[in-house]
Amino acid sequence: MLLSRDSLSFMFRSAALLWQKNAARLGEIDSRFGDGDHGVTVSKMASAIVSRIDGLKDESIKGFLEALSADIMAINGGSAGPLYGTFFEGLAAPLSDETEIDAALLKAMLAGGIGALFDITKARVGDKTMMDALIPAVEAARTADDDVLAVIAAATKASAQGCKDTENMVSKFGRARSYGEQTLGVPDVGAVSAALLFEGFNNLKEGTVQ
């Protein structure tokens, strides 16, 4: 199976819906140790996806991801906009004018996404940030079978586990850092939204947007 532009539309639309559905919960989590804006930011990012997605019918996947990246970078919302914008820009980096994506290219895209983030943040696994979901996701994708659905499923499972693992971590980045051990027991909000992104992508397997 190859990921067509229709498949990617489905994946991004599903992720946007999940972000919208979980916006209130994300805002609540972020209000514990952050500034509480992550739900609003995620809603804005979801709207940016929905606004861009129809253009994917007529343009390259690279063009779509680059335009989406620029939209998301421009969102005012602390660090989340630039971080997700950078991730999407990195996904586009290995592409040229493809209109379909195979497993090898999907793995390269995910590696491009995390590589772009490595350039702009020092956060790594254990620091209680979105990287705790994204780094394991990309690593699991890299070693998954050469099948696009297997790659997405592996990334989704690893991001969910990585997100859960943040409950047992003390925040080391951002505003949450000042709360120290009080952050134990609560997942990192960026890791939650990152895991939801993959969960949305993985809905492609069921073929239904939930």
Using the minimum distance from each CB to Mg ion, give the nearer residue, 83 or 91: 83
| C-alpha–C-alpha distance, residues 164 and 77, integer Å | 24
Question: How near is the Cβ of 182 to Mg ion at its closest, in Å?
Answer: 16
Using the minimum distance from each CB to Mg ion, give the nearer residue, 34 or 112: 34
145 binding Mg ion? (CB under 5 A): no
Written as one string, the DSSP assignment of 137-194 is HHHHHHHS-S-HHHHHHHHHHHHHHHHHHGGGS---SSGGGGGGGGGTTS--HHHHHH
Q: Count of alpha carbons within 13 Å of 176, Cβ hemisphere only?
A: 28
Out of 3, 16, 34, 155, the only residue in the binding site for Mg ion (CB under 5 A) is 34
- Tally of CB atoms within 10 A around 27: 19
The interface with Mg ion within residues 169-198 (CB under 5 A) comprises none
Q: Which stretch binds Mg ion (CB under 5 A): 25-33, 61-69, 96-104, 195-203?
A: 25-33
165 binding Mg ion? (CB under 5 A): no
| C-alpha–C-alpha distance, residues 210 and 200, integer Å | 8
27 binding Mg ion? (CB under 5 A): no
Out of 50, 63, 73, 78, the only residue in the binding site for Mg ion (CB under 5 A) is 78
| Contact footprint for Mg ion (CB under 5 A) | 30, 34-35, 37-38, 78
